[in-house]
Amino acid sequence: MSETPDKRNEAANPQWGARFAAGPSVVMQEINASVGFDRELWRQDVRGSLAHAAMLAKVGIITAQDEQAIRNGLAAIAREIENGRFPFDTALEDIHMNIEARLTERVGEAGRRLHTGRSRNDQVATDFRLWVRDAIDGIGAQIDDVMRALADRAVAHAADPMPGFTHLQTAQPVTFGHHLLAYVEMLDRDRSRLADCRRRLNECPLGSAALAGTSFPIDRAATAQALGFDRPTANSLDAVSDRDFALEFLGVAAISAMHLSRFAEEIVVWCSAPWRFIRLSDAFTTGSSIMPQKRNPDAAELVRAKTGRITGALVGLLTVMKGLPLAYAKDMQEDKEPVFDATGAWALSLAAIAGMVRDMMPDTARMRELAGTGFATATDLADWLVRVLQLPFRDAHHVTGRLVAKAEAKGCDLAGLTLQDMQAEEPRITADVFSVLTVEASVASRTSFGGTAPSNVARQAARWRAALA
């Protein structure tokens, strides 16, 4: 550098302003600065700098004394940020330059040596990976918690019938526990997608420098290991310009939010007076300012809605990234807000779902009552005709259809038909048919693997509870 720091133009950026005669316009500063949101990365930035400084000292690029000064300075800065006393400065653009400038203010020249062999490009890529990795771990624990809440409820309701739906029309009875375990399976896949994402993410960009690597004899394996990465990234251009890890994380988030939204929708429906399958306590409902009787499931509605911003974050970042030539471009600074926002929305949604699952009071009598309506055991009747009378299933379907029509005309359910009614359609039907027409018999008969038979559901619920303990 031709100029010493104290002789530089005051208005220009103190980190890179040496070749600038004037400072940026107000608009330039405003569009350029990210410290308003990327301060969220401060812990990861400090972690990354500590690992980088330790490595620089180890290979002899900086002295042990400098490393010590950097370490002390960063510890003091971490305390300042934690206590809300850090002087964030928009003129310093982002969290990386804010921390570095403050470090130099505190420890002098040692601070100015920290950026040897690295660039903000590999620095931000490293920090952001660390942040997303921390988020994956936090979200993963929350998914476990929701699964645990669902599995507990499924154990208790393994044998309680409810109407099962297709097209939201009564289809066949299932058990409430079976229904809840369906979401456990979905969340388990979300967990597994997160684990995949974490595995692919876990390579360290630090030391890729601006885009080409560095001429300093750095030890990338050492920094990778110190930061808990499996290995350093293998191509410096890719390392500074890849945001797949964030996109993949958002992809998992969008799928998981979609799952949570489907469950939230069911909660909304189940709470509604014409259904009355469950009741939420005061802790998870709100009142209406005009209708005194209302208990609104706002938390469920908001979980359903937050899917919008989470999916939006994915589409937003995909759009930012498409068409960017290698390597780094400032467009990529727009990667953080969608990820921060989606993570917050996802975490809150998981917490709300866990809360509602634990809070809800199922009305099992009501569910049982509705499970038997809508000719829900018609399939059981058709299956009986196949099993006992050896009718081809299509013929059995036809006979049953006519019996449903007859029951509908008489205003009764299938079990309310007389044996004579039945025999008028198929003379070989015996009284034994009535044994399959109850809701209990129907669910108990679904013993195929993965089916709703209470014995199956109890086994699956116990397996999940044990796995999640």
Torsion of CA 81, 86, 90, 94, to 10 degrees: -40
Quick check: is 157 catalytic?
Answer: no
Shortest separation between residue 336's beta carbon and ligand ARG, angstroms = 6
Say which residue the tokens 């908001």 belong to.
302
Q: Which is nearer to ligand ARG, 212 or 412 (CB)?
A: 212
Q: Which residues bind ligand ARG (CB under 6 A)?
A: 34, 38, 94, 120-121, 124, 328, 330, 332-333
Residue 81's nearest CA partner among 114, 127, 40, 48 is: 40
Shortest separation between residue 333's beta carbon and ligand ARG, angstroms = 4
CA-angle at 293, arms to 292 and 294, nearest 5°: 95
> Who contacts 373 (Cβ-Cβ below 8 Å, separation ≥6)?
163, 170, 413
Quick check: is 288 catalytic?
Answer: yes
Residue 172's nearest CA partner among 378, 436, 384 is: 378
Phi and psi at residue 30, in whole multiples of 5°?
-70, -40
The amino acid sitting at 175 is T
Shortest separation between residue 317's beta carbon and ligand ARG, angstroms = 13
Helical H runs in 360-431? 364-371, 378-389, 393-410, 419-425
Q: Which is nearer to ligand ARG, 38 or 266 (CB)?
A: 38
Shortest separation between residue 114's beta carbon and ligand ARG, angstroms = 16
Residue of 272, 281, 288, 435 with catalytic role: 288
Q: Are 197 and 248 in contact (CB under 8 A)?
A: yes
Shortest separation between residue 238's beta carbon and ligand ARG, angstroms = 16
Shortest separation between residue 210's beta carbon and ligand ARG, angstroms = 7
Residue of 2, 167, 215, 289 with catalytic role: 167
Q: Which is nearer to ligand ARG, 223 or 349 (CB)?
A: 223
Q: Which is nearer to ligand ARG, 38 or 145 (CB)?
A: 38
Dist CA 399 CA 396 (whole Å):
5
Sign of the dihedral defined by the CA atoms of residues 440, 446, 452, 455, in that order: positive
Dist CA 432 CA 440 (whole Å):
15
What are the structure tokens assigned to 9, written together? Answer: 């133009």
Q: Which is nearer to ligand ARG, 18 or 182 (CB)?
A: 18
Q: Which is nearer to ligand ARG, 103 or 260 (CB)?
A: 103
Residues catalogued as catalytic: 167, 288
